[in-house]
C-alpha cells in the first residue's frame, strides 16, 4: 500500500451500472471519488491496492448507478399533494390549483414545499431535478440547503401572480436571480415559459432572445392535451408546435414537457432540430392527457428523459415507479415488447435527462472525471430476488425504498436510508402546518 493514492471515498459494490457504455454491468467493482468527482472505476481487488480512502463503503448486495435526473417537476407543489385529485387538466388548474396558488403561494410556501420535495427526491435516489415554479430563488435556496443538484426554471407567464406582474417582470426577476446565484456549483438555470396557452408570441420572442444570448435551455409544457391543440387551432390557426417553430423556438435547447400529442411529422421536426422531450407518464395518466408515443419518439431519434411532474398531479416524486411505467406504457402503446428495453429506461431516467439540461458532460453516467452523483440500491430484498440481470431488476422490480446511499457531488446525502444533514421530523411538521393553512379553502 506504499504507492496507494489517497482519495475521499471508496465504494465497493457487487455491481455497477455506469449507463455508459450502454447496457453494461460491472461485477465486483469499486468507485473512487475525490474532490467531488469520480477518479476511477475498477475491479475491487485492484481498488484495494491502488487507493486508500478517508471513507469506505462496502456494499456487497448493492448496485451503484448514476443518480436519477427528474426532468420536469414543480417542487413547491408538494404542499398541494392530493389537494384536488381525479379531475381533467383545465378544470384541475382553473377551478382548484390556480385559486389555491393565488391564495397561498409566497416565498415561504415555495421554500418550504421545495425543501420537502428535495428531501423526498434525495431519499428516492434523485440527485438532480429540473424545476418550473414561481419564486424560483426560493427553490434554488432549498436545493442548495438540501444538497441536491437543480436546474432552476425562470418562469414566464402572461398573467400576474404574487410573484410578478407581467412578462417583463417575470423575466427581470428570473435573470436577476440567475445573476445572484450563478456561482452555486449545484445550480444551473433554464428559461421556463409555462405553456403556449399562457404565453404570447411577443413573450416567446423575448424568451428566445435571452436563451440565445445566455445559452440556456427553454423548458415549456407542450402538446400536453388534445384541448390545447384545439384551442391553438382556433386562436392561431396552427398547432402549438407549428406556432413555436415559426417563432424560432425549436432547437437543441428546447425541452418539450409531456409532448403527448405529437404526430409523426412533429416528432421528425423536433428530432431534426435536436430538441428534447420530458416524458411524465404518471401525470399524463392521472390527468387523462393521453399516451405519449415514446417508442416512436425514440425511433425518430429524439432524446427522451423522464420527469415526475409535481406531486399535485402525480402524486409522488418517485423516479423508480416513473421509469417502470414509462417502459411498460411504451411497450403497450407500440404493441411491441421490445419497444423500450430496460437499459433504455435507465438511460432515460439518468443520462437522457442530463443531456436535455446540457449537463451530460458532468452527470448522468458514471465515468472518470464526471461529478460523483450516484446512488446505491440494495437488491437483496425479496422483491428483487433472484437477480439474474441488475439492469432489468432496477427497471422493473426495484423501488425507491431500496435506495440506501446517495451521493451528490461526492457528498454523502443519504447514508443507510437516513439523511446525513436534513431533519426529517422538522420537514414533517412543516408539511402539517401548511396543510392546516390550506385545508379551510377546500
Spell out the domain ranges in the chain.
5-66+364-419, 68-356
The average pLDDT across 92-113 equals 93
Tell me the per-residue pLDDT of 253-294, one tens digit each, with 9 for 90 and over: 999 999 999 999 999 999 999 999 999 999 999 999 999 999
DSSP reduced 3-state for 25 = coil
Predicted local distance difference test score (pLDDT) of residue 268: 98
> In which band, very low, low, confident or very high, does the pLDDT at 1 lie, cut at 50, 70 and 90?
low
Q: Which residues contact 207 (CB under 8 A, 6 or more apart)?
A: 156, 171, 191, 193, 199, 218, 249
| Percent of all residues in the chain with a pLDDT value above 90, rounded to a whole number | 95
Tell me the per-residue pLDDT of 321-346, one tens digit each, with 9 for 90 and over: 999 999 999 999 999 999 999 999 99
Q: How far apart are CA 438 and CA 363, in angstroms?
A: 37
DSSP, res 417: T
Model confidence pTM above 0.85:
yes
The average pLDDT across 185-199 equals 97
Homologous superfamily, domain 68-356: Metal-dependent hydrolases (3.20.20.140)
Q: How far apart are CA 176 and CA 140, in angstroms?
A: 13
Predicted local distance difference test score (pLDDT) of residue 400: 98
Cβ atoms 261, 243 nearer than 8 A = no
Q: How far is CA 87 from CA 82, 227, 245, 287, 288, in A?
A: 11, 14, 31, 6, 9
> In which band, very low, low, confident or very high, does the pLDDT at 442 lie, cut at 50, 70 and 90?
very low
Predicted local distance difference test score (pLDDT) of residue 191: 98
The answer, yes or no, to whether residue 300 has pLDDT greater than 50, is yes
Q: How far is CA 221 from CA 47, 74, 126, 372, in A?
A: 46, 12, 22, 30
The average pLDDT across 23-27 equals 98
The average pLDDT across 33-61 equals 97
The answer, yes or no, to whether residue 440 has pLDDT greater than 60, is no
Backbone angles phi, psi at 128, to 5 degrees: -150, 135
Predicted local distance difference test score (pLDDT) of residue 228: 96
Average pLDDT, the chain: 96
Predicted local distance difference test score (pLDDT) of residue 439: 83
**Top-level CATH class of 5-66+364-419?**
mainly beta
The average pLDDT across 94-114 equals 94
> In which band, very low, low, confident or very high, does the pLDDT at 387 lie, cut at 50, 70 and 90?
very high
Q: How far apart are CA 190 and CA 152, in angstroms?
A: 6
The answer, yes or no, to whether residue 441 has pLDDT greater than 80, is no
Predicted local distance difference test score (pLDDT) of residue 90: 83
- Which residue stretches of 35-106 are H helix? 44-50, 89-92, 98-104
The average pLDDT across 205-227 equals 97
Amino acid at each position: 500500500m506504499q504507492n496507494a493514492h489517497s482519495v475521499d471515498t471508496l465504494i465497493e459494490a457487487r455491481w455497477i451500472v455506469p449507463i455508459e457504455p450502454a447496457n453494461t454491468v460491472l461485477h465486483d467493482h469499486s468507485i473512487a471519488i475525490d474532490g467531488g468527482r469520480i477518479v476511477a472505476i475498477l475491479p475491487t481487488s485492484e481498488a484495494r491496492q491502488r487507493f486508500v480512502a478517508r471513507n469506505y463503503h462496502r456494499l456487497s448486495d448493492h448496485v451503484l448507478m448514476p443518480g436519477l435526473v427528474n426532468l420536469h417537476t414543480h417542487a413547491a407543489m408538494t404542499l398541494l399533494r392530493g389537494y384536488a385529485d381525479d379531475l381533467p387538466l383545465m378544470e384541475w388548474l382553473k377551478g382548484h390549483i390556480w385559486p389555491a396558488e393565488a391564495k397561498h403561494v409566497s416565498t415561504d410556501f415555495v421554500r418550504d414545499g421545495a425543501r420537502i420535495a428535495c428531501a423526498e427526491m434525495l431519499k428516492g435516489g434523485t440527485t438532480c431535478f429540473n424545476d418550473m415554479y414561481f419564486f424560483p430563488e426560493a427553490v434554488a435556496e432549498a436545493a442548495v440547503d438540501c444538497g441536491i443538484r437543480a436546474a432552476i426554471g425562470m418562469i414566464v407567464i402572461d398573467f400576474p401572480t404574487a410573484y410578478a406582474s407581467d412578462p417583463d417582470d417575470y423575466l427581470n426577476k428570473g435573470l436577476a436571480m440567475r445573476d445572484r446565484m450563478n456561482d452555486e456549483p449545484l445550480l444551473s438555470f433554464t428559461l421556463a415559459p409555462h405553456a403556449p396557452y399562457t404565453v404570447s408570441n411577443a413573450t416567446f420572442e423575448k424568451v428566445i432572445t435571452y436563451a440565445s444570448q445566455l445559452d440556456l435551455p427553454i423548458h415549456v409544457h407542450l402538446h400536453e392535451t388534445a384541448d390545447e391543440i384545439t384551442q391553438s387551432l382556433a386562436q392561431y390557426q396552427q398547432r402549438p408546435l407549428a406556432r413555436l417553430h415559426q417563432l424560432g423556438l425549436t432547437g437543441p435547447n428546447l425541452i418539450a414537457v409531456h409532448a403527448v400529442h405529437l404526430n409523426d411529422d412533429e416528432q421528425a421536426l423536433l428530432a431534426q432540430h435536436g430538441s428534447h422531450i420530458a416524458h411524465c407518464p404518471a401525470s399524463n395518466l392521472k390527468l387523462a392527457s393521453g399516451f405519449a408515443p415514446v417508442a416512436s419518439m425514440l425511433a425518430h431519434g429524439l432524446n427522451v428523459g423522464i420527469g415526475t411532474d409535481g406531486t399535485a398531479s402525480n402524486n409522488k416524486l418517485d423516479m423508480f415507479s416513473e421509469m417502470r411505467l414509462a417502459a411498460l406504457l411504451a411497450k403497450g402503446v407500440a404493441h411491441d415488447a421490445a419497444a423500450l428495453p430496460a437499459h433504455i429506461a435507465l438511460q432515460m431516467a439518468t443520462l437522457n435527462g442530463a443531456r436535455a439540461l446540457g449537463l451530460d458532460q458532468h452527470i448522468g453516467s458514471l465515468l472518470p472525471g464526471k461529478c460523483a452523483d450516484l446512488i446505491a440500491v440494495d437488491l437483496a430484498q425479496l422483491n428483487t430476488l433472484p437477480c439474474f440481470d441488475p439492469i432489468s431488476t432496477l427497471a422493473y422490480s426495484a423501488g425507491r425504498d431500496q435506495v440506501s446511499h446517495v451521493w451528490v457531488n461526492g457528498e454523502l446525502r443519504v447514508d443507510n436510508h437516513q439523511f446525513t444533514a436534513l431533519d426529517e421530523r422538522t420537514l414533517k411538521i412543516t408539511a402539517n402546518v401548511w396543510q392546516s393553512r390550506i385545508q379551510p379553502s377546500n
